[in-house]
């Protein structure tokens, strides 16, 4: 048993989609979350800069005495996960492998689509991982650079959001039966994405898939939190506006949270 919290990092509010799943699947665990909304989106930035920012988020989480770190960000996973995982002596999880395995499990036709930020798509990491696991798959990847700004500015219910999602996803229509949401911000747009892709396309939420791996690791290392829901103290930090973060979090999570501003 280990009652320390699990640390989550993201470029902004996207990782909350992973935390929501954690709270659903593993409600006894405690969360420390850092979102770097002041510098989001990460996706269009150079790899070296994303790596530097990710290390800053990791080091922040380490000061909070976490027992495990979850990269609740595909872009950070694509660029920095391997390196960070090698350096730390606590488990470090990313979202890309779980998303890839789930897509292979879900597809009937073998035709998988992946959407993500410019860096995640440029790194080609999903295609590599999927083909490593199952070479007969056909992967079509597409960068959706406008999706993260819609989510960060909490415009997910707007007509602009619908238009942008529709226009971006048009090239995938009729080509795939499974679509990996390869960015943790995208599940916030899930109803629109599902509507555009149609009921025949299964959407894979890479973050939700990752929570299953968190569970496996907690069990394997016997580091589950022993206490129940009492004395649970989740902590959320953002590098930008706490008001905007809280608005999105309160809408998305099953509980009301307090948010603190930090400068990294």
Whether 183 is catalytic is yes
75 binds ligand DGL (CB under 6 A): yes
117 binds ligand DGL (CB under 6 A): yes
Nearer to ligand DGL, 40 or 112 (CB): 40
Binding string, residues 136-155; x marks residues near ligand DGL by CB under 6 A:
------------x-------
> Which residue in 16, 79, 114, 183 is the catalytic one?
183
Distance of CA 202 to the CA centre of its chain: 18
Whether 73 is catalytic is yes
190-197 and 159-169 helices, crossing angle to 10°? 50
Site for ligand DGL in 39-68 (CB under 6 A): 40-43
Nearer to ligand DGL, 45 or 225 (CB): 45
Binding residue for ligand DGL, selected from 5, 10, 189, 208, defined by CB under 6 A = 10
Q: How many residues bind ligand DGL (CB under 6 A)?
A: 17
Nearer to ligand DGL, 50 or 223 (CB): 50
Interface region with ligand DGL, contact rule CB under 6 A, candidates 10-18, 52-60, 209-217, 235-243: 10-18
Residues lying near ligand DGL in the complex (CB under 6 A): 10-12, 14, 40-43, 73-75, 117, 120, 148, 183-185
Residues of the binding site for substrate:
10-11, 42-43, 74-75, 184-185
């Amino acid at each position: 048993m280990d009652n320390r919290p699990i640390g989550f990092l993201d470029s902004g509010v996207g990782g909350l989609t992973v935390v929501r799943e954690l709270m659903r699947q593993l409600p006894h665990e405690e969360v420390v979350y850092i979102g770097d909304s002041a510098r989001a989106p990460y996706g269009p930035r150079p790899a070296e800069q994303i790596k530097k920012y990710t290390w800053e988020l990791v080091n922040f989480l380490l000061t909070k005495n976490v027992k495990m770190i979850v990269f609740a960000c595909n872009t950070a996973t694509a660029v920095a996960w391997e390196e960070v995982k090698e350096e730390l002596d606590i488990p470090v999880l990313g979202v890309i492998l779980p998303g890839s395995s789930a897509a292979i499990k879900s597809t009937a036709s073998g035709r998988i689509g992946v959407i993500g930020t410019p860096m995640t798509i440029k790194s080609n990491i999903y295609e590599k991982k999927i083909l490593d696991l199952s070479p007969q798959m056909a992967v079509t990847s597409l960068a959706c650079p406008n999706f993260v700004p819609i989510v960060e500015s909490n415009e997910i219910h707007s007509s602009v959001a619908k238009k942008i999602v529709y226009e971006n996803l048009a090239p995938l229509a009729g080509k795939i039966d499974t679509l990996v949401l390869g960015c943790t911000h995208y599940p916030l747009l899930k109803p629109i994405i599902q509507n555009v892709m149609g009921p025949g396309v299964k959407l894979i939420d890479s973050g939700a898939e990752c929570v299953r791996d968190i569970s496996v690791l907690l069990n394997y290392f016997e580091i589950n939190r022993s206490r129940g829901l009492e004395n649970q103290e989740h902590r959320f930090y953002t590098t930008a506006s706490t008001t905007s973060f809280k608005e999105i979090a309160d809408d998305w999570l099953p509980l009301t949270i307090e948010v603190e501003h930090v400068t990294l």
